[in-house]
Structure 1
Amino acid sequence: MLPAALRQRFRQWLRPRRTSAIAEACLIGLFAALSAVLLQAGAGWLGAWRVHASHLFPAWIVLPAVGLSFGFLAGLLVERLAPEAAGSGIPHVKAALANVPIQLSLRVAVVKLVSAIIALGSGLALGRQGPTVHVGAALAAQFSRWFPTSPDHRRQMIAAGAGAGLAAAFNAPITGVLFVVEELLQDLSGLTLGTAIIASFIGAVVSRLLGGRSMELNLVLTAHSTSFSLTELPFFLLLGILAGLLGSLFNRGIIASLKFYRQIHLSLPLRIALAGFVSGVAIALLPPAFRDNTGLREFLVTGEAAWYWAAIAFVAQFILTLVAFGSGAPGGLFAPSLILGSALGYLVGVGEYNLTGIGSPPTYALAGMGAFFSVVSRVPITAIVIVFEMTTDFNLVLPLMIGSVTAYLTAESVAPGSLYDWLLEWNGIHLEKEPTSKGLLAELTAKDVMQPRVETLGAQMTLEEAVQAFSRSHHRGFPIVDDGKLVGIITQTDLVKVRDRGLPSDTRLSEIMTPQPVTVSPIATLGHVLYVLDRYQISRLPVVEGRKLIGIITRADIIRAEADKLNGETGQMGPQPEPSYVVYQTRSPSVGRGRLLVLLANPQTAAPLLQFAAAIARDRHYELECIQVILIPRHSSPAETKVKTAKSRRLLRQAEVLGKKWKIPVHTQIRVAHDLAQAILETVKERHIDLILMGWKGNTITPGRIFGSAIDTLIRQAACDVVLVKFGKEGRGARGVDAQAASRRVGREKINLSSPASPAPPASPALQFDRWLVPMAGGPNSKAAILLLPALVTLGNAPASEIRLCQVFEPTEAEPDTTVLKQARRYLTQYRNLSSKVTAAAVKASSVSDSVVNLVKTANFDVVMLGASREGLLQQAVNGNIPAAIASRVDNSTVILVRGAITKE
């Protein structure tokens, strides 16, 4: 173990700073170059083998067979290992830089690299430059996870990785930097330029050393010099106009191809295999020169091709690129756009030469490359520089500028917008066209972030009652409300001052509170809220509408909102998920007084969870609504995605069988959704759910979350009761639970639950719920837990079961107020058909969580059931205290957390 001082110094060294950013940019450039060289060599070797095989054997057999098999293999790798690796990859990088939650990791980089080698080697008319950009960005994102970096620093590194990938692919470092500035980040800050320049330079140099130039056009053109004269200006303008029109048509064709593949409802491997087969058949019918994309491009720019070969090349490349890209194959559009541009430029050059006798068709071919590239990518400056860097020919600068700018302006007037933005919108991701520098503090208001459920005290409460309220809650202050209107606020500091003054315990809060507290309106921006918090040196602000208290906002709420946005987890960031889609459902007669929603996600806990649901449904005469949610990626539509429902239907049929045995109406449904919490909330609204019952694993690995993203959302937003059940690993409450065996045993039960006098469904022999511990301190959630107890204790051996009610008090309290305990015990002992032994005890301890854990361990309780103390206990749970302690330290007992229905005032 390192000494504390050394660990602190190491953490200081790892903190993001300019020098570490430069070092990280060098590493990113190195690995981006290595991946680019590997992709070039791998795809080149496979492509050469494919071309050689087509000469040895009949091309009409070899090329379609290779395209079909390699395409299927590439699609299978992407679908099984990293669906994010499909397509070009540049839209994914652009979305990730806009804080959209899209996965960029080492796994994505490796799958993208291998699948792109296979796909490009199969003969698909796609380029390797898009994948190298994606791989470089994914590697940079992985580096940012290995080293502690800020979100802004991470974005800079991802952009540098993307630039390095492009620079390594084209051997063009300036192009890599310009692409970052012009397309990805649109930022000219020192850190952006510095890291992008270094990473792109390292990437280009290493790529040249290891792989040589990817397109040595300047060496090819030594025998065919370029030229430009003023009389040729109209023809370069014509070239720009044609490139703008045909490039826009190409972009529209890409979207149409995506729509076509989605309509035929094939899996990704089959789509890419179909594209490979069609491409193989088409290439087999074309001359042998068309089997090598790089050779075809060089053949055009050298001026050796006849005009009709250029026309055939343009049409064939146009169609085959649409066929390949629409399938979702891992490949880019840079290389195809350069081939299309060179063919189009060559045709214009040949026409100009035949009309005037001057000019050079290779010059037009090179200018056409830049023009078509600027239309597809909408980066005219990058398009000009990329061709210039590949040729190092200054005679091309003016033709490139004329053609690229004219093509860009023409395309913007015909079909404005970048193809990459269109692809993102096709997948449901809408980026801001004009990013603002104001950020979150200006975008969100107090109403967006505030806590709507506020724990308050009454103005007529006594000082003694206020002290008890503070002792039962973690809050350091309470708003004072009279007739629903905010009249003051009281804090722990106020209580200390009152104690020093020696006021009697029956003093009213209206006499000691701080009247007219500082407040904010619900439409106040977070920037204004922070200003007020700092101006008055306070930690919380009541949010009022007129004088009515509607919420409270703290510094922690603002920090959590910032963290959510930086992680891409807020509704404002990224694509809005589409509504969930019901793909399967069954309905029973609606004869119940309410509905209980059971989420069946884990087959291992489905049987005991259904027992819980049946016990509650019998007691309250509810119907059961059992749901399975199938999650799909954001880029797929829930209404259009094919899913397999066989396993889900088997699990739901188990619930239907149990319902018939127990005479409980059971409805089932399977929903396809982007987000689990959204699907459940939609079900709650559509089916008028009264209670949600779901399993809980007891912890979460998601930063900033307590129960997990979905459960946290349900606790905050679900209007009905929410019950979470965390089953013990072994022993009490889960004695070696075998889900299938328990299901079979429960399925054989023949219990009549239609009559209130009928016995409750017996618990499976694998379960034991005899000793119940219920920590409580009043409040709506504690009451909700008590109301559920009579139904749930029937899951154990009722005559021998025991319910222990406890309330935790500070050790300094001489005479604790046990009114809440007495009321709860009175309710349970007077409840009909409840034969369990009910005891109540006051526990003195400084920590609620520690006392609960100790009680469970020393008294061997099977179940711990938590309500909220005037929301205080639940607020501690949401902040990560109670659930974390119980889940990590009381593994063998079942934990139930109850949040009562949200009441609208």
Structure 2
Amino acid sequence: MLGIVIGIVAGVSALAFYFTLKLMEHLFLGLIVGASVPEPVGEGGSLSSGFRAVRYWLIPVSTTLGGLLSGLIVYTWAPEAEGHGTDAAINAYHRLQGRIRRRIPPIKLVASAITIGSGGSAGREGPTAQLSAGIGSAIADLLKLSPDDRRRAVAVGIGAGIGSIFKAPIGGAILAAEVLYMRDIEAEVLFPALVASAVGYSIFGSVVGFTPIFGYYTGIFNPARLPLYAVLGVIDGLFAVLYVKTFYAIHDAFKRWRISNYAKPVVGGLLAGVIGLMAPEVLGTSYGWVNLAEFERLSLFTSPMLPLIALLVALPFLKVLATSFTIGSGGSGGVFAPGIVIGALVGLDVGLLFHYLLPSLVPDVAPFVIVSMLALFGAAA
């Protein structure tokens, strides 16, 4: 029963976050920059539309303003809502008996929507996880559950939030049980998390659609490519290390910097916006670019400063930097989704290389984009 209740509230909360994010994207990137950002096919996106902007030079203004507003909201009312949110939810599970302040969910929702909607490089899964974890904690308090049950409610909320917003209920449930420990799994939350994720996914999908975010791939599996996937896996593992090390190096540098916490997301937003000037593909969630990479719509990848080949090679590194500046500075948003996007961009580069070397074995890059998404995300998470 608890899983059903948490799932219902998590699904509704995921919808609230999704549409708030769309509103902020319209207000910031739409009205300030005059930009149109590619959307994934599972959310109505087209494979023929890239990034277009009327006032291209205002990208840093949008991301800086987003950092300013997000920082004001977070550090005034709920400092726990800074960053990607997953660590805060896990900390509440292990050290606070599952207690999460009531104000955290709404603050996280608004601050993350502003950060991402203004063009900050971040994901929406981490915020949804903290949002739903806070809801699970509140429901447990309302029902006067024991500390152990409250902790489980927080874990179930994490799974329900991720399963809903990612349209992956099974994955959300497994992640909820696994993400709490480095080398263990919380088996007791698996079943209620699966129930909550399924309920939340049903509610979320009934409004925005049940098509997977990145659509479907119908290609035929070719076992002859397995050695190539092994090479890709090694590259993804190394890139995952680079992503994690870079993120925490920048995060720690901002923590040590003796300026006001309110100013740090402003600086991070400005730096991310400067990168966005060079490569608008890094702005926001970048989900739409995953599909364009998968189907090799290379003509839609553009940069005013870099030729196409240099842009494709640089994009994974630029996405790492933009995400690290956005979230590491204290901006509110997730780090899971950028890992998926970075993996897709690495897969595009490696797939193109193998395509030119072995065109008969690798006729298209789609399998490499998909495999790389999963490999890099799994390694980094």
TM bucket, shorter chain: 0.7 to 0.9
Q: 1:214 to 1:34 in 2, by over 3 A?
A: farther
The CA deviation string for residues 99-154 of structure 1, in whole angstroms up to 9 with x for no partner, is 34675132111111111111111111110100000010101101111112112211
The CA deviation string for residues 25-79 of structure 1, in whole angstroms up to 9 with x for no partner, is 212111111121121222123224433342465321x222222222111111111
Q: 1:291 to 1:108 in 2, by over 3 A?
A: closer
Distance in 1 separating the partners of 2:320 and 2:73: 27
Matched residue type, 2:236: A
Distance in 1 separating the partners of 2:18 and 2:103: 20
Distance in 2 separating the partners of 1:188 and 1:332: 25
The CA deviation string for residues 517-569 of structure 1, in whole angstroms up to 9 with x for no partner, is xxxxxxxxxxxxxxxxxxxxxxxxxxxxxxxxxxxxxxxxxxxxxxxxxxxxx
Give the equivalent residue in structure 1 for 2:273: 280
Distance in 1 separating the partners of 2:194 and 2:118: 34
How far did 1:215 drift?
5.0
Give the equivalent residue in structure 2 for 1:28: 6
Distance in 2 separating the partners of 1:290 and 1:52: 16
The CA deviation string for residues 678-728 of structure 1, in whole angstroms up to 9 with x for no partner, is xxxxxxxxxxxxxxxxxxxxxxxxxxxxxxxxxxxxxxxxxxxxxxxxxxx
The CA deviation string for residues 387-442 of structure 1, in whole angstroms up to 9 with x for no partner, is xxxxxxxxxxxxxxxxxxxxxxxxxxxxxxxxxxxxxxxxxxxxxxxxxxxxxxxx
Q: Does 1:44 align with 2:48?
A: no
Name the count of aligned residue pairs. Answer: 347
Distance in 2 separating the partners of 1:188 and 1:102: 17
Of residues 195, 200, 219 in structure 2, which corresponds to 1:226? 219
Q: Does 1:332 align with 2:321?
A: no
- Asked whether the equivalents of residues 170 and 213 of structure 1 are also in contact (C-alpha less than 8 Å), the reply is no
Q: Does 1:205 align with 2:202?
A: yes
SS of the aligned residue for 2:259 comes to coil
How far did 1:184 drift?
2.2
Q: Does 1:76 align with 2:80?
A: no
Distance in 2 separating the partners of 1:142 and 1:102: 10
How far did 1:235 drift?
1.1
Distance in 2 separating the partners of 1:373 and 1:216: 16
- Asked whether the equivalents of residues 164 and 201 of structure 2 are also in contact (C-alpha less than 8 Å), the reply is yes
Give the equivalent residue in structure 1 for 2:129: 133
How far did 1:92 drift?
1.5
Matched residue type, 2:4: C
Give the equivalent residue in structure 1 for 2:186: 187
Distance in 1 separating the partners of 2:200 and 2:25: 24
Matched residue type, 1:255: Y
Matched residue type, 2:379: V
The CA deviation string for residues 737-775 of structure 1, in whole angstroms up to 9 with x for no partner, is xxxxxxxxxxxxxxxxxxxxxxxxxxxxxxxxxxxxxxx
SS of the aligned residue for 1:284 comes to helix
SS of the aligned residue for 2:129 comes to helix
Q: Does 1:235 align with 2:228?
A: yes
Give the equivalent residue in structure 1 for 2:262: 269
Q: Of Structure 1 and Structure 2, which has the larger fraction of its residues in strand?
A: 1
- Asked whether the equivalents of residues 121 and 282 of structure 2 are also in contact (C-alpha less than 8 Å), the reply is no
Of residues 327, 347, 350 in structure 2, which corresponds to 1:348? 350
Give the equivalent residue in structure 1 for 2:193: 196
- Asked whether the equivalents of residues 68 and 266 of structure 2 are also in contact (C-alpha less than 8 Å), the reply is yes
How far did 1:213 drift?
4.7
How far did 1:91 drift?
1.1
Give the equivalent residue in structure 1 for 2:104: 108
Q: 1:276 to 1:215 in 2, by over 3 A?
A: farther
SS of the aligned residue for 1:331 comes to coil
Of residues 168, 175, 186 in structure 1, which corresponds to 2:171? 175
- Asked whether the equivalents of residues 275 and 323 of structure 1 are also in contact (C-alpha less than 8 Å), the reply is yes
Give the equivalent residue in structure 1 for 2:95: 99
- Between structure 1 and structure 2, the one with the greater Rg is 1
Q: Of Structure 1 and Structure 2, which has the larger fraction of its residues in helix?
A: 2
Matched residue type, 1:206: I
SS of the aligned residue for 1:106 comes to coil
Give the equivalent residue in structure 1 for 2:49: none
Q: Does 1:247 align with 2:225?
A: no
How far did 1:251 drift?
0.8
How far did 1:300 drift?
1.1
Q: Does 1:369 align with 2:373?
A: yes
Q: 1:112 to 1:202 in 2, by over 3 A?
A: same
How far did 1:266 drift?
2.2
Give the equivalent residue in structure 1 for 2:302: none
Unaligned regions of 5+ residues in structure 1, if any? 1-21, 378-905
Higher relative contact order (CA 8 A, sep 6+): 2
SS of the aligned residue for 2:331 comes to coil
- Asked whether the equivalents of residues 134 and 154 of structure 2 are also in contact (C-alpha less than 8 Å), the reply is yes
SS of the aligned residue for 1:30 comes to helix
Give the equivalent residue in structure 1 for 2:43: none
Q: Does 1:297 align with 2:270?
A: no
Q: 1:286 to 1:277 in 2, by over 3 A?
A: same
Distance in 1 separating the partners of 2:211 and 2:123: 12
How far did 1:231 drift?
2.2
Distance in 2 separating the partners of 1:118 and 1:251: 24
Distance in 1 separating the partners of 2:20 and 2:295: 26
The CA deviation string for residues 815-868 of structure 1, in whole angstroms up to 9 with x for no partner, is xxxxxxxxxxxxxxxxxxxxxxxxxxxxxxxxxxxxxxxxxxxxxxxxxxxxxx
Matched residue type, 1:341: G
Q: 1:355 to 1:160 in 2, by over 3 A?
A: same
How far did 1:351 drift?
1.3
- Asked whether the equivalents of residues 11 and 161 of structure 2 are also in contact (C-alpha less than 8 Å), the reply is yes
Overall identity of the aligned pairs, in %:
25
Q: Does 1:258 align with 2:256?
A: no
Alpha-carbon RMSD across the aligned residues, in angstroms, is: 2.0
Matched residue type, 2:208: G
Distance in 2 separating the partners of 1:362 and 1:266: 45
Of residues 152, 157, 166 in structure 2, which corresponds to 1:161? 157
Give the equivalent residue in structure 2 for 1:790: none
- Asked whether the equivalents of residues 98 and 147 of structure 2 are also in contact (C-alpha less than 8 Å), the reply is no
Give the equivalent residue in structure 2 for 1:322: 324
Distance in 1 separating the partners of 2:191 and 2:91: 22
